[in-house]
Amino acid sequence: MSVQQIYKGRIVDLRLEDVDLPGGRSVKLEVVHHPGAAAIVAVDDRNEVVVIRQLRHAAGGFIWEVPAGTLAPGEAPAACARRELREEAGLLAGQWTALGSILTTPGFCDERIHLFLARGLSESAQQLDDDEVLDVGRIPMRRALEMVQDGAIEDAKSIAALHRAAVALGLLR
């Protein structure tokens, strides 16, 4: 496989790769390499879930998401999830359940997001990155699932995470 580096930035690492297909043909594919990420469905004792309203330039404005962030170099997904819940939402969690992972855009990018359910929440101190603009709130899980269905929540990782968490919690059957 021949690989040509096009650009290596802070998040995006774009390469042009010659890929052999079954049957002997070969295609040149644009591949964005991404370090991966973790996303957290944090649910409190009243079945309310932590949501953030975040400014996303690529999305053209503020969107609803669950807390999430990119893996630091060498960082384990579970450690990233704990760090991001603390930094973005100012929360610690006593119980963590892994909910598998998802591929956001397998057609052109290798990003894998590891999903977690966090319970037993307690307050800590929020610590946002310089370029993060967001508000944190809590809404009932039932309301979050309605927002997935009516389109108010459009973020794919948040939809997948809320779905898996709701089934794990017995809220969707």
Binding stretches for its own copies (CB under 8 A): 6-7, 9-12, 14, 16-17, 19, 21-22, 25, 27, 29-32, 55-60, 63, 65, 70, 100-113, 130-131, 133, 148-151, 154-157, 159-160, 163-164, 167-168, 172-173
User: Which residue has tokens 């370090």?
Assistant: 35
Q: Give, in order, the Cα–Cα distances in Å from 37 to each of 6, 147, 163, 173.
A: 23, 23, 18, 28
- What does the alpha-carbon distance between residue 63 and residue 167 come to, in Å, rounded to a whole number? 24
Query: How is residue 91 written in tokens?
Result: 């929360």
Strands 48-56 and 13-20, bridge-based pairing: unpaired
Q: Which is nearer to its own copies, 70 or 124 (CB)?
A: 70
Supply the minimum distance, in Å, between the C-beta of residue 114 and its own copies: 11
Task: Single out the residue of 2, 44, 37, 33 nearest to residue 19, CA to CA.
Answer: 2
Query: How is residue 148 written in tokens?
Result: 């997935």
The secondary structure element, H or E, covering residue 52 is: strand 48-56
Q: Which is nearer to its own copies, 99 or 121 (CB)?
A: 99
Q: Which is nearer to its own copies, 44 or 132 (CB)?
A: 132
Q: Which is nearer to its own copies, 1 or 123 (CB)?
A: 1
